[in-house]
Structure formats: C-alpha cells, structure tokens
Amino acid sequence: MTTTQQPSTLRVGMVGYAFMGAMHSHAWRTAPRFFDLPLRPELAVLCGRDQVAVKAAADTMGWQETETDWRSLVERDDVDLIDICTPGDTHAEIAIAALEAGKHVLCEKPLANSVEEAERMAEAARSAEAKGTYAMCGFSYRRTPALTLARRLVEQGRLGEIRHIRAQYLQDWLSDENVPMTWRLDREKSGSGALGDIGAHSIDAAQYVTGLDISGVSALMNTFVHQRPLAGTRIGLGGTGADDGRTGQVTVDDAAIFSARFDGGAVGVFEATRFALGRKNSMRLEVNGTRGSLAFDFENMNSLEFYDGSTDAEAAGFTTINVTEPVHPYTGNWWPSGHGLGYEHGFTHQVVDLVQSISGGTTPSPSFDEALRVQKVLHAVERSAADESRWQWTDLPL
C-alpha cells in the first residue's frame, strides 16, 4: 500500500464558533466517517477574538489550533479553506480576502448584508474560480434529503409546469417580549431580521427546488416588539431578559411577508416570522405544478409530501415519502430505512458536496452568484415594503 492512496487533506480554518460554528465543526468531523471523500478534511485552525474562549471552543469542537485575528488566519499557508460562521456584516471582507489569498471559502448565509457587498463577493468568487479556488454559500437546507429529493422530482418533470409556490418559515423564539437583544436584532450586524435570517432560506429553497428565479415582489414588513432587554440568560436562540430595565432598540423586521412572480409564470407567497407561537422551526415549502405537487415542513424533516397527478384518480393523494431509503439523496450513507436524520445532516452533506466540487474542479452550488440572486430578492422585498408594498422587479439596478 502506498501513501498516494491516502486522500490529500483539506485543511480548514473556521471563523466564529457559536451556533453555526458548532454545527460546521460537527460537519467537518463527521463527513469523512460516512462518505468516501476525495480530500480528507482536517479541523486545522479555529479563529475567534477572545483567546481564552476560542481555545476552549477549539478543544470542545476538535480544532487543532486557534487564531484571534481572521486576517492572520487567511494568511496562513497551512490552511486551504476558510469557513465563515460570523454575522453577516463581516462576510464580504473575510470572504474576499480569503479568496484573494487563494483559499476556498464556505460562507454562511445570507451571503452579505447588501446587494453591493454580495456583488463584490460574487465577483471575487468568479475571479478565484478562474484560478481553481472555489466558493460556496451555506444554504444548508438544500441538502436536507427531502428538499434535495424535491428538486430531483421537479427536474424529472413530475410536477410539470410550476404554478404556485408557498413558503413559510415560522419560528417563535422572539414571541416573548422579554427575550433579550441579540445581534440578530441589530440591523448593523444582521442586515435584516426574519427576512434575512430565515426568509433567505425560503427564497433559496424555493428557487432551488423549482429551478425558477423570482422576478418581482410586493412586500409587507412588520416589527412587533421595538424594545428588548439588553442582557439576560441566553437559551437556544432566545432566552430570558434581565430585570435591570436596560433595553435596546430592535432595528430589524420581526416578520416579512411578500408575494412574488417567478420566471415562467408561477406565483409565490412567502412569510418569515419569529413570532409564530408554537412553531419551532417550521420551514414549509409547497409547490403546485400542472402534473404534481410537493409539500415539506422541516418539523417533519425526514418526510416529503408528493402528489403525483398521473396516479389513477381512485388512489391519488399526497404521498408521504419517508426520505430515508438507499435510493434517496445522501441517505444511503447513513442508517437503514426509516431510522431518521436530524438537522445537522444537511451541513454534513454540504461539506461532502463542497469537498467533491473542490476536488473535481466544478463550481459548488449554491455559488456566490446564486446567493447574490437571493440577496437581490431580499433587497427588492425591503424596497417594496418601504414603498407602500409597490411591486419591485428584482433585476433593477440598485
């Protein structure tokens, strides 16, 4: 046996180690255990500003070394890929620097906090790709097997021509007015609220599954709670505010609603909110075509509902596909049929596909260009909401 049979390593440097950092670490650790990867990921360097905290996190999450300045990380010769898990206001700067330094990039969604940033990032990605360096945006829901299967069924023509898309992303962790401030409620950090945080997933998923782009929107945005406690106890995404009376200003939308037209004539309706009491992570997508329909709810993430219009009328109906069969996307590498995957598997699959793209020299998907299209929709939504819900085409100049 010669060493050439061992796959080369892909040395990862990751910036940020909160919720998304823990998740990405798990994905990098786990992917090579279940998938036969052409490059073996190595959790090389974890980067965060607080030296003590980042060391503790690196130990818990399994990273070999740490850095406290992302610029130093980007300059290291012993790192091949930069994984960006920070709030959106830092994405553009880090990603562009990394790509210019010849590092592959995985960047959390949404790509940026503005179309202008996203365009610069997409431009950087195109330039980098010409030199064999690749960039992917982390719209991980695409790689939930049920949504990957949804895309496959559309590609097979089993839905016919698409007419309706309805997408809801419903959470409730802000429903309690006493949940404290977080960077996700600060427009400077996050760009927008429910719209960018979760609505962006719905936009990407709708465009991905149908293969159609959103051409225009009319939107309504709303903020229910304008002041929140500054500090308190964080639990999950939410938590409980402190009693000290200090509050901060919520500067983002709590809910975003918009109607949309897609290329090809389909119409869509979208809603994103973190105030839907009782809905924990109900990322729903429903698509109706001339030949079939699909329905998905992430709270039942291992299932896809499919209506096949070609079934005899007596037996037609929505079929609950338990998307855990060997024939389904990704699932054959995991457990036997019906044994169920969880939220993290989408991230592991993301790593699998990214590594294969890098190794194979193909553009990863979602590319920064695809993510830019999402950004343009986010922008059009905000413009419409600010102008009496008037229709906005997504391809207008800024």
Site for a second copy in 76-135 (CB under 8 A): none
Q: Least distance (Å) from a second copy to the CB of residue 375?
A: 21
Q: Which of 49, 116, 131, 343 binds a second copy (CB under 8 A)?
A: 343
Which region, judged by CB under 8 A, interacts with a second copy, from 111-119, 187-195, 240-248, 384-392? Answer: 384-392
Site for a second copy in 269-298 (CB under 8 A): 269, 271, 273, 275-282, 286, 288-293, 298
Site for a second copy in 197-236 (CB under 8 A): 218-220, 222, 224, 235-236
167 binds a second copy (CB under 8 A): no
Q: Which of 311, 360, 395, 396 binds a second copy (CB under 8 A)?
A: 311
Q: Name, in order, each residue with C-beta under 8 angstroms of 110's C-beta and a sequence gap of 6 or more.
A: 88, 191, 196, 200, 371, 374, 375, 378
Q: Least distance (Å) from a second copy to the CB of residue 326?
A: 5
395: tokens are 């391809």
Q: Least distance (Å) from a second copy to the CB of residue 120?
A: 31
For residues 292 and 308, is the Cβ–Cβ distance under 8 A? yes
285: tokens are 């997508």
C-alpha 288/C-alpha 297 separation (Å) is 15
Which region, judged by CB under 8 A, interacts with a second copy, from 86-94, 115-123, 206-214, 302-310? Answer: 302-310
C-alpha 232/C-alpha 246 separation (Å) is 10
For residues 133 and 79, is the Cβ–Cβ distance under 8 A? no
By beta-carbon proximity to a second copy, the closer residue of 7 and 248 is 7
Residue 138, beta-bridge partner list:
108
245 binds a second copy (CB under 8 A): no
Q: Least distance (Å) from a second copy to the CB of residue 349?
A: 13
Which region, judged by CB under 8 A, interacts with a second copy, from 20-28, 68-76, 126-134, 187-195? Answer: 20-28
Which region, judged by CB under 8 A, interacts with a second copy, from 103-111, 254-262, 353-361, 372-380? Answer: 254-262
248 binds a second copy (CB under 8 A): no
Q: Least distance (Å) from a second copy to the CB of residue 141?
A: 11
Which one-letter amino acid corresponds to residue 167? A
Q: At residue 327, what are phi and psi to the nearest 5 degrees?
A: -80, -10
DSSP per-residue string spanning 231-283: -EEEETTEEEE-SS--EEE--S-SEEEEEEEETTS-EEEEEEES--TT-SSEE
- Across the chain, where does the E strand assignment appear? 8-15, 39-47, 65-67, 81-84, 104-108, 135-138, 162-170, 214-222, 227-229, 232-235, 238-241, 247-249, 255-262, 267-273, 282-289, 292-297, 303-308, 318-322, 392-393
By beta-carbon proximity to a second copy, the closer residue of 16 and 364 is 16
147: tokens are 């949504």
By beta-carbon proximity to a second copy, the closer residue of 95 and 159 is 159
264 binds a second copy (CB under 8 A): no
391 binds a second copy (CB under 8 A): yes
By beta-carbon proximity to a second copy, the closer residue of 133 and 175 is 175
